[in-house]
Amino acid sequence: MKIYTRTGDTGNTQVYATQTLRVSKDDILLDTYGDIDELNSHVGLLVCLLGEDHEERPFLEGIQRTLFQAGFAISASSTLTPDDVTTLEKAIDTHSENLPAPTQFLLPGGCQAAAQCHIARTVCRRAERTVTRLAGHHTVPEAVMAYLNRLSDYLYTLARTLNAQAGITPAPV
């Protein structure tokens, strides 16, 4: 099976929603898929930076799988549920127990993995904005928007945790 089909060479592509659609490659639906895909790739890079044995790796790989479900939720079918949002909330709470309360804005950065968390967080915020725009034109399950909103909070909290574990205090704004 060839990876290329040539069917998109004229600026259109096929998506699989409740029915098969042919859309322009600049359609908001494809922007949304692209932003979620980019976010997933940044989370994948974070997984690589953390290494094989890091305790957070399985959780982050689960996030990657759930991001695929978020894409499916805005196209055809998905197993994304409010429980996925709750799972993120629990992880945020667990990390937050070991961190001081934030009292000021900090510059994104610190150790390399924390810096990658911040990149993924900003891409997540963009994906959330794109999904919000998409919701004005297509049906978007509430769980998708809630998941992305909570995921950005998780990535911020994970960045703080990774910096604390590395003994790094990022510079204040």
Asked if residue 92 lies in contact with residue 157, where contact means CB atoms within 8 angstroms, the answer is yes
Claim: this prediction has a pTM higher than 0.85? yes
Q: How far is CA 47 from CA 41, 75, 117, 124, in A?
A: 10, 27, 10, 16
Tokens matching residue 21: 């659609």
Asked if residue 114 lies in contact with residue 163, where contact means CB atoms within 8 angstroms, the answer is yes
Task: List, in sequence order, every residue forming a beta bridge with 135; answer none if it has no partner.
Answer: none
Enumerate domains of the chain plus CATH numbers. Answer: 28-91+101-165 (1.20.1200.10)
Q: pLDDT truncated to tens, each residue of the chain (173 aa)?
A: 888 888 888 888 887 766 777 888 888 888 999 999 999 999 999 999 999 999 999 999 999 999 988 887 776 667 788 999 999 999 999 999 999 988 889 899 999 999 999 999 999 999 999 999 999 988 888 889 999 999 999 999 999 999 999 999 988 88
Q: Using CA atoms, how far apart are residues 143 and 147, in angstroms rounded to an integer?
A: 6
Amino acid occupying residue 62: G
